Amino acid sequence: MYRFPVLIADDDATARVRLSHLLDQFGYRVVVCNDGAEAWRAIHRPDAPHLLLLDWMMPGMDGVEIIRRLRGEEDAQSGYFYTLLLSARDDPEDVVAGLEAGADDYLIKPCHKAELQVRLRAGRRILALQQQLLDARDRLAREAKTDALTGVDNRREIERMLRHELDRAWREGRPLALAMLDIDFFKKVNDTYGHLAGDEVLRETARRLRGCLRSYDRIGRYGGEEFLLLFPGDDAGDARQLAERLRSSVAAAPVDSSAGVIPVTVSIGVCALPAGVACEPQRLIDAADRMLYRAKEGGRNRVEVTRLEEEARQGCAAAAEG
């Protein structure tokens, strides 16, 4: 049975035992610290409780100092720590000083059992709401990067990743390959089977493509039925092999859609960037796009590959002939 974790920090052994006993009765899992320094170390562990009961007066580092430091370094990754400051001081000015230091609540010692229980419940509600906000933020961040239909990167994200991988390839002196992939006769699929079936073809194609990729490869929907893929560390030969696997995985079996069984193939154009060569993103995309056009002109359901230096030589030759 899950027991919500709570951290207690108090240098008074009697107070620690009493609080631990009460929290255990309430159904909490208790982490006990004998002073502020021990509590500070416990807070920085990966499994640290986020509901804290901190005594104000402790040797070395007191509860107020812990809270001040905690508020100064909290971020979205560490999450929020809900702090209840414990003190025998009952003067309103002391309560204000504790809350101004960053405490979420203030309890006068000795704590009344029922009051302690409801204040802990309030802390748990705040932490639950904060987690919901973090989850919503993370979900929105994912949605902003993801194509809603296929679940792969959207165009903005895959273009961002292309810039990132180009920078990394240059820094590390590694090759990089980019592929442009297009579903053959996709307009005919929509016209024959309907747009709902067309969406199913897109989703299933993206699923098969993802199944062939390595953990460090990237795929994004570039527009319509076109996908852009990044193969970090691959030269032309490696990229051709991977592109052929992608092509084969799509063509291996028809898509079983709600409108019937639909045969699907793809054409792929690849441009490989050699190690140590700087390149603008659009230049690499354009070169792969020319290979994609060649694959379609060559009969579709095929892969065409070029290296960037070959593209440059062909461009120079064409300019000289002109």
- Going from N- to C-terminal start, the domains of the chain cover 5-144, 155-321
The token pair that represents 270 in the structure block: 């690849």
Mean pLDDT value across the chain: 92
Phi first, then psi: give them for residue 48, nearest 5 degrees: -65, 140
Span 69-117, pLDDT tens digits: 988 886 656 788 999 999 888 788 888 888 988 999 999 888 889 999 9
| Helical spans, DSSP H, in the chain | 13-26, 36-43, 63-73, 92-100, 113-145, 155-172, 186-193, 195-212, 236-251, 281-297, 308-321
Specify the 3-state DSSP secondary structure of 116: helix
**What percent of the chain clears pLDDT 90, i.e. is strictly above it?**
77
Residue 44 pLDDT exceeds 50: yes
pTM over 0.85: no
Determine the average pLDDT of the residues in 213-227: 97
Residue 220 pLDDT exceeds 70: yes
Measured distance CA(148)–CA(136) in Å, rounded: 16
pLDDT at 234: 97
The token pair that represents 259 in the structure block: 């409108």
Active site residues: 225
Confirm if 309 and 240 have CB atoms less than 8 A apart. no
Measured distance CA(247)–CA(265) in Å, rounded: 7
Question: What is the assigned CATH class of domain 5-144?
Answer: alpha beta
Residues 6+ apart with CB under 8 A from 288: 178, 179, 180, 269, 270, 271
Band (317; pLDDT cuts 50, 70, 90): very low
Band (311; pLDDT cuts 50, 70, 90): low
Residue 315 pLDDT exceeds 60: no
Span 247-274, pLDDT tens digits: 999 999 999 999 999 999 999 999 999 9
CATH architecture assigned to 155-321: 2-Layer Sandwich (3.30)
Greater confidence (317 vs 226) lies with 226
Measured distance CA(292)–CA(75) in Å, rounded: 45
pLDDT at 313: 52
Longest dimension (CA), the chain: 94
Q: Are strands 82-87 and 29-33 parallel, antiparallel or unpaired?
A: unpaired
Residue 322 pLDDT exceeds 60: no
